Amino acid sequence: MERKENRADPVAVSEHAKDPFSGQTKPPYRVGVGVTIGALLWIVPYLGINALLLPAKVVEIAPDQKEVVVATLATFAMVTATLANIIIGAFSDLTRSRFGKRTPWLWVGSIGTAAATMLVYYSPSVPLLILNWCVYQVFLNSLVAPLLATIADRVAPKFRGTISAMYAIGFTVGMASGQLIGAQFLKDLRMGYIVMAVLVFCAAPISATIIREPSSASMPKKNFNKETFLTNFMFPTKHCRDFYLALFGRLFILAAGFAITGYQLYIFTDYIGADDSTTQSTITIMSLCLMVVGVIVAAIIGPLSDKLAVRKMPVIVSAFLIAIGLVFPWIFPYPWAMIAYAIVGAGIGNGAFNAVDQALNLEVLPNPETAAKDLGILNLAQSGSQIIGPLIASAVIGIAGYHAIFPASIVLALVGCVAIAMIKSTK
């Protein structure tokens, strides 16, 4: 019996076996490819919309209140994403089907996000735009939370740096491509939203087919009672110090970048004073730099993290690099300074951060049986940073102008660095 178990496909090992990773002698690259493509296909449309197409839509509807409307969208989206992450992650953990416990939710998220994308475009007023953006957030989190939990379900801890780096490569290429693709449609928003909807629609069919999640129908089913509710739907309260430090560390580090991304279009037009042609060409160059540098850094740092068995230190170093990159546009309000930030901060810094970030998150999970829910909570740092970053940026811009957005972002990155440094359970 032991011989049969050891010869089993290490990726398809039963999740409720005593040691589900006992037969895994090499990184499960198939899972890595699946989550990489999944990451690419959700982040491209999301960032293309959030960074460029949504602000452009706001300008169409309320040009005189664009900063306030963007901040309002961020606030409502944060609340919606918070609830969606926890609830959908919990239901994913409890799902029992012949398709697995993650795959059904990937499909719900993929199809729903595509539909919500077009609802956002066709919103004729600010209230409807806010409502539809919240619907978008619900379905997006139905896709993201189960996708991340796949790494916890299917990858042994000693290989999570490598697979997390693969996810990071998809994420990094997606971040660059999202802005690159979005920038091409600033003069044709309708086509831009259609392209983004098609991309996210493809996420579940492609990634789920590659990952091939085993059935979860034979896994023990839980009765829905008070204990199940507290375990699967509430924030963890035991053995969770490092979990919350990782959450807040991620939140602040990511917020530093999204404070810039959320107002990137306005930074070029209102701070640098660039025309539409310069803005589009510079964003294109930034996106290419971010993609190339980020992919190279992630490909190196992830496997190196596995080899050295370190998770915390690469994240700390990445936060410093993000802060250093932000110095360039703070001091020099020129397009080339934004390119320098894209290389040093968004490229090298975020590339290193993304490569090890998910591996660090998996190390601090308080309960592997509630992985999707807890990763959903940790993913609040991702969604929350995209909301809190622009909110802080909006406040800073209102008080001191666009130049103050850069030192504010530096402070955010360094605060996150301190939180990560306080984690004790991993190096």
- Residue 91 sits in which domain range? 27-217
Q: For residue 399, what are the CA distances in angstroms to 114, 363, 404?
A: 37, 40, 9
Task: Judge if 305 and 394 occupy the same domain.
Answer: yes
Scored b (16 or more CB within 10 A) or e, 387-412 reads bbbbbbbbebbeeeebebbbebbbeb
Same-domain pairing of 373 and 244: yes
293: its two tokens: 């540098």
Instruction: Identify whether residues 176 and 258 lie together within a single domain.
Output: no
Cα separation, 166 vs 207, whole angstroms: 13
Q: Do residues 110 and 98 touch, judged by C-beta distance below 8 A?
A: no
Question: What tokens were used for 129?
Answer: 């735009």
384 belongs to a structural domain: yes
For residues 151 and 35, is the Cβ–Cβ distance under 8 A?
yes
- To the nearest 10 degrees (0 to 180), the angle between helices 241-261 and 312-331 is 20
DSSP state of 157: G
Q: Which of 355, 208, 210, 243 is nearest to 294 (CA)?
A: 355
In a domain, 2, yes or no: no
Shared domain check, 277 and 138: no
Q: Looking at the structure, do residues 142 and 259 belong to the same domain, yes or no? A: no
H/E stretch holding 100 reads none
Residue pair 136/120 in contact (Cβ under 8 Å)? The answer is yes
Q: Residue 13: what pLDDT?
A: 45
pLDDT at 15: 45
Statement to judge: residues 59 and 165 lie in one domain: yes
Examine the domain organization and report whether 95 and 131 are in the same domain: yes
Q: How confident is the model at residue 2 (pLDDT cuts 50, 70, 90)?
A: very low
Q: In the numeric block, which tokens belong to residue 154? A: 């299917």
Does residue 223 fall inside a structural domain? no
Residue 417 and residue 312 in one domain: yes
Under DSSP, is residue 156 helix (H, G, I), strand (E, B) or coil? coil
- For residue 318, being part of any structural domain is answered with yes
Indicate the average pLDDT of the chain: 87
pLDDT of the residue at 120: 96
Task: Specify whether 63 is located in the same domain as 110.
Answer: yes
> Of 171, 187, 217, at which residue does a domain stop?
217
Question: Which residues does 396 contact at the CB level (< 8 Å), separation at least 6?
Answer: 404, 405, 408
Phi, psi of 225 (to 5 degrees): -130, -170
Please tell me the total count of domains within the chain: 2
Which residue type, as a one-letter code, is found at position 217? A
Closest CA to 203 of 51, 371, 372, 46: 46
pLDDT in tens, 108-140: 999 999 999 999 999 999 999 999 999 999 999
Residue 222 lies in a domain: no
Give the residue from 150, 183, 217 where a domain finishes: 217
Boundary residue ending a domain (182, 217, 252): 217
pLDDT of residue 3: 42
Q: Are residues 399 and 333 in the same domain?
A: yes
In a domain, 418, yes or no: yes
pLDDT band at 157 (very low <50, low <70, confident <90, very high): confident
H/E stretch holding 9 reads: none
Q: What is the pLDDT of residue 8?
A: 42
* One domain for residues 198 and 106: yes
Instruction: Let me know if residue 397 belongs to a domain.
Output: yes
Q: Minimal CA–CA distance to 93: which of 83, 104, 82?
A: 104
Which range, 15-29, 148-162, 312-326, 345-359, is most confident? 312-326
Work out the pLDDT band at 94, boundaries 50, 70, 90.
Answer: confident
3 state SS of 311: coil
**Of 212, 183, 211, 207, nearest to 195 (Cα)?**
183
Answer yes or no: are the C-beta atoms of 219 and 96 closer than 8 Å. Answer: yes
Lowest mean pLDDT among 165-174, 178-187, 206-215, 220-229: 220-229
Q: What is the pTM of this model?
A: 0.78
Which CATH number do you get for residue 363?
A: 1.20.1250.20
**pLDDT band (50, 70, 90) for residue 329:** very high
Phi-psi domain of 13 (left: phi exceeds 0; alpha: psi -120 through 50; beta: other): beta
Residue 17 lies in a domain: no
Cα 231–chain centre separation: 25
- 246 and 186 in a common domain: no
